Structure 1
Amino acid sequence: MIQLALTIAIYLVIVIPVGIYVYHIAAGRRTFADPVFDRVDGLIYKIGGVDPNRGMNWKKYAAALVGTNGAMILIGYLILRIQSIALFNPNGIGAMEPSLSFNTIISFMTNTNLQHYSGESGLSYLSQMLVITFMMFVSAASGYAACIAFIRGLAGKTKDNVGNFFADLVRITTRVLIPFSIVGGLLLIWQGVPQNLSGNIVVDTIEGAKQIIAMGPIAALEIIKHLGTNGGGFLGANSATPLENPTMLTNFIELFSMMILPGACVVTFGKMVRERKVQRGGSLTRRSLSERLYGREGRTIFAAMGILFVIGLGVCFWAESQGNPALEQAGLSQSMGSMEGKEVRFGIAQSAMFTTTTTSFTTGTVNNMHDTLTPLGGMIPLLHMMLNVVFGGKGVGLMNMIMYAILAVFICGLMIGRTPEYLGKKIEGREMKLTALCIIIHPLLILAFSALAVGTSAGLEGITNPGFHGLSQVLYEFSSSAANNGSGFEGLADNTMFWNITTGLAMFFGRYLSIIIQLAIAGSLMKKKFVSDSVGTLHTDTGSFAIILVFVVYIFAALTFFPALALGPIAEHLTLWA
């Protein structure tokens, strides 16, 4: 418990300065590094023919995002199909087959990084660098750019300008992702993570057998997969292997790397909305410390996300600490808790923290095998991906939580008989229709594709674990895909035409439909006039509204996902402990 509390406390300390830095980048404010980065950005703009001062409305912004990502999908697919060439391929890896190439390129461009292959045997170094690592930067930057544009729309400084996508893409990459990755990557190399272009090494083990030790540019991929909330591992075992995560220090580096930018987006949101209020003549007297750091609205959203995270972490840690009664009955001690699938160097506490974090911040990296979690322990990462609002990755959690905030003020407005308002704008029919559509898309993708999988022979052939756990594996696979998370229970035989295509579609629609709808909502709100507070106005910057948000999220989850969870992890838990 002390480990978990200290980890959260350290995170709360470091997220604020990073959030302030990201806020300065999003708002176009000066930073200490501008003399260097302005020249780098200027060169990129010149080569790309980009005018960074040319604003876009939400439609042009969304079209630029989807079009740019689409072009990169095509180029990346071609590289995967011809990766058998000798260039940067010392291990002689062959070309990736079509359906797996489709799944992989969609996975990494949508920031999901679901892997139906093992990196050490499925990809050449050329693909690892030009496709996987490159897209980890671009997909993360695209998501953060969409989030910043969304915040600008809510802040409502102008009627039709949410920024320039290409300028946001460049600034986030050069000023955040690259410098942070260089520092983090050097720390990982210092701790023993490989970074080279050598071929795999064959060594003699103590037992006299032969073992292949993977080499390659692991550290470079490792840091951006966490910092960009990507998650795909250079190796099949991901961050559970010492080659990717050798020490407790690297575990903390990777843990904080995937937590820092999603939390920073909430700080950025709070400060940009507060700045809007200041420009409209709002009062700044007698502000609390948390208000100065997060902004009132940011503080409320951060608190709601934090409550959801701590509840999930507590349940996961408790469930794994209870052990497995089946092993207890077999005479095996469970005094340390359920250590199946976990690294001894991390133990129950850091395994539970990593598991909850990677699925709350939609990263997808793992330092233990989620398929071996206890039923309730495995239900928490599954539930958090179903919610997709607990911080989330690349700004996704913030954008989705705002959807629930709009829903909450609508429900509360109906209860008191007033037109709902959020951030000084009236929420009317158009916004509510788009919000409802955005919220419904996520469970629709998960449940519809899961039903297809258990209702067809092609889907059933991939289920290797019968009973309740088999259904949990299916739910987890599509929840991970739709939430752009990428982790898996790994019990599925998922490298087939059916699973490659269906999860690829879930990843694609789960990513781009939500972004387009959310930008449309921001575009609609920014054109509306501000309304003055009245006695009937529901204040959305209070602790009580944070509690309301938590209840709205859980109620929606219960209404949509409880039947499926009852047939999966809950039924498995009741059977196991009977």
Structure 2
Amino acid sequence: MTIQGLLYIALVFALVLGAAFPLGCYLAAIFEGRVTWLRPVEVGIYRLAGVDETRAMRWQDYAIALLLLSVIHFFLLYAILRLQYYLPMNPQHITGMAPRLAFNTAASFATNTNWQAYVPEAQISNGAQMFGLAVHMFLSAAAGIAVAAAVMRAFTGSGLKSIGNFYTDLTRITLYALLPVTIIAATLLVLAGSPQTFGPFITAHTLDGGSQTIAVGPVAFQEAIKEFGTNGGGFFNANSAHPFENPNAWTNLFENFLLLVIGFAMPIAFGHMVKDKAQGRALMAAMAIALALGCVGAYAAEAAGNPLHIAAGVAAQGGNWEGKEIRFGIPASTTFNVSATGTSTGAVDSFTDSYTPLGGAVPLFLMQLGEVTPGGAGSGFYTIIVFALFSVFVAGLMVGRTPEYLGKKVQAKEVKLAMLGVLILTLFILAGAGFSLVTASGVASLGNAGPHGLTEMLYAWTSGTENNGSAFAGLSADTPLLDYGLGAAMLFGRFAFMVPVLAIAGSLAAKPKLPESAGTFPTTGPLFVGLLIGVIVILGGLQFMPADTLGPLAAHFLLHAGKTF
């Protein structure tokens, strides 16, 4: 590692954490209905959609609205992908997707996963990219943030009968946050060299007399919401390593900033909502510490290089450069990939399959922690709230007192619902990966053997279930088993966790808010931050240690013994 590399990581954190405070304040104002600079447009949307913005929803109503909208948009996207050949803005005359791949892709983009088992520039038309995929990048991100806003409201008062209005939240988040930032970011990317066009692909004539087709399209706009909405679905198969998606080192830093900032802004918004800013700062500190350790850990692993090359005296200067962009270098590449897996973004500017075993283990483990470092747009916040409830429950057990969090008693109902959500995710990841590795179809999908192959499959099921969308790149994912299996994992990983979270919010909202007493466990200081990180690692990560030991850890020791896969 170098001082310059560590300073780069510090720069990313300084920019992100500095911007998270004003953005969090702004998001809280949106959640509370205090942002009205596009009020005529907002009202027009309500009238057009037939939405009563004043309707107060119980958690059950909120969950039903979320699920119904998600189902409708899943089928709409499925139809667009199947019928894209007949739809406009398809100058390349790209045919419709096969049913199983369309199912997988529709599930992916409806759940903010954006897993791509296809080659985008060859299998998705410009129209389907813009009005199918990009639209769902807005909707899925806004839905996650809306659920987070509902959870925040549960702690704002006593005996609350409503946690908000889903349709109002969805509209305001999209209109006042996601859309304006995306337009500004897309404009900056166009200025940096990203294309934004609905025209046909360009044919270039090479110096040797041949020709080359250069794919172009509405790249900049999709790239902007892909990062800011923590989506990750690239316009090109190379994702953020492609020069049209990520033209230079400055855009790499900018995109790294975009994909992190909303996740860190959410706990700040929470602090404003509950009128206790220290609560938000404590949650943000836990997120930042875990992510910073991940960034430094991955950088250290890749900077150390391949031990076989070192032993042979042919190590590339600066560490393991395989799979890295020379334009960005190792520190920027590892920081981007760790940021993308610490959130639910899944975008990559280098390829994890080419990382050293420990370097690849870091993004895998961050996803297994539950995507809370800082997690996806909204989803990272409500997941860390679940871990915060676990933390005060553990603290309550140690002192023999009924646990409380922000004046709300945490009782058996909330803990059972929280554990249900966590166990659902663990079940899909481990059972899905295990089943895939004992079937001929699953084994045939692997690009590598041994522990590296196990890591590929484990990474895929972790990425799908945790709604991340990144891949280990060696896996052939377009098979019936993985198209349908991972598609189901994405849907259950999203909604089978969201619904218990909304039930927890409804239960806590209805409870009285108790004043602090001498026996109240403080949830704003270093003690709570340390306990929270410990609970995240123990309950979130250690469930996967046996599998991780057989995968990346085994590959690490075998690599040092001279064995590769």
- Structure 1 length normalisation: TM-score? 0.94
| Residue identity in the other structure for 2:338 | T
Cα shift at 1:509: 0.3
Question: Which residue of the partner structure matches residue 100 of structure 1?
Answer: 101
Provide the residue aligned with 1:279 in structure 2.
none
Residue type of the alignment partner of 2:14: A
Query: Could you tell me which of 345, 349, 363 is aligned with 1:381?
Result: 363
Distance in 1 between residues matched to 2:268 and 2:275, nearest whole Å: 11
Is residue 86–residue 92 contact of structure 1 (8 Å, CA) maintained in 2? no
Q: How does 1:488-507 map to 2 (within 5 A)?
A: 488-507=471-490
Residue 124 and residue 444 in structure 1: after superposition, are their counterparts in 2 closer, same or farther (change >3 A)? same
Once the two structures are superposed, residues 551-578 of structure 1 have per-residue CA deviations (whole angstroms, 9 ceiling, x without a partner) of 1111224530110100000111111123
SS of equivalent residue, structure 1 residue 245: coil
Question: Equivalences for 1:204-283 in 2 at 5 Å?
Answer: 204-206=205-207, 209-274=210-275
Segments of 4+ in structure 1 off by > 4 A?
206-209
- Are positions 1:449 and 2:454 aligned together? no
Q: What secondary structure does 1:154 align onto?
A: coil
Indicate the SS of the match to 2:330. Answer: helix
**Cα separation, 2, equivalents of 1:83 and 1:327:** 48
Residue identity matched to 1:266: P
Residue in structure 1 matched with residue 3 of structure 2 by the alignment:
none
Q: Deviations over 1:34-86 (max 9, x none)?
A: 24x10110110111111111110100001001101111111111111111126
SS at match of 1:199: coil
Secondary structure, counterpart of 1:2 in structure 2: helix
Q: Which moved more, 1:540-549 or 1:157-166?
A: 157-166
Aligned mate of 1:407, from 382, 390, 393: 390
Q: 2:526 aligns with which of 543, 548, 551?
A: 543
Query: C-alpha separation between the residues in 1 aligned to 2:458 and 2:208?
Result: 40
Choose the corresponding residue for 2:306, options 324, 331, 347: 324
**More off after superposition, 466-475 vs 147-156:** 147-156
Alpha-carbon contact 2:426-2:543 (below 8 Å) kept: yes
Deviation at 1:469, TM superposition (A): 0.5
Give, in whole Å, the separation in 2 of the partners of 1:61 and 1:183: 31
Look up the equivalent residue of 1:533 and give its one-letter code: E
C-alpha displacement at 1:88, in angstroms?
1.0
The one-letter amino acid paired with 2:517 is S
CA contact (8 A) 2:12 2:256 kept: no
Confirm or deny: 8 A CA contact 2:365 2:541 kept in the other structure: no
Query: Could you list the per-position Cα deviations for residues 99-158 of structure 1 after superposition, in whole angstroms to 9, with x for gaps in the alignment?
Result: 000000000010000000011001111211121011111111111111101111132355
Write out per-residue CA displacement over residues 513-550 of structure 1, whole angstroms, 9 at most, x where no aligned residue: 11110010010011112223333221112111000111
Report how far residue 206 of structure 1 moved: 4.9
Matches within 5 A, 1:80-479: 80-85=81-86, 87-156=88-157, 159-206=160-207, 209-274=210-275, 295-387=277-369, 388-479=371-462
Residue 209 of structure 1 and its aligned partner are, at CA, apart by: 4.7
Distance 2:266 2:500 in 1: 19
In 1, the alpha carbon distance for the partners of 2:234 and 2:484 equals 21
Partner of 1:116: helix, strand, or coil?
A: coil
Structure 1 unaligned spans of 5+: 276-294
Is the contact between residue 91 and residue 200 of structure 2 (CA under 8 Å) also seen in structure 1?
yes
Deviation string 1:271-328 (CA, Å, 9 cap, x unpaired) is 11126xxxxxxxxxxxxxxxxxxx1111111111111111111110100100112233
Does the residue aligned with 1:455 lie in a helix, a strand or coil? coil
Tell me the matched-pair count: 555
What is the CA–CA distance in structure 2 between the aligned matches of 1:133 and 1:354, rounded to whole Å? Answer: 21
Report the RMSD for the aligned CA atoms in angstroms. Answer: 1.3
The answer to whether 1:7 aligns with 2:8 is no
Using the TM superposition, give the Cα deviation of residue 331 of structure 1 relative to its aligned residue in structure 2, in angstroms: 4.5
Partners of 2:263 and 2:376 within 8 A in 1: yes
Which residue of the partner structure matches residue 284 of structure 1? none
For 1:70, the equivalent position in structure 2 comes to 71
Percent of aligned positions with the same letter in both sequences? 42
Deviations 1:471-490 (A, max 9, x none): 00011101111111101011
Secondary structure of 1:83's counterpart equals helix
Conserved in 2, the CA contact under 8 Å of 1:274 and 1:296? no
CA distance in 2, matches of 1:299, 1:15: 11
**TM-score normalised to structure 2 length:** 0.96
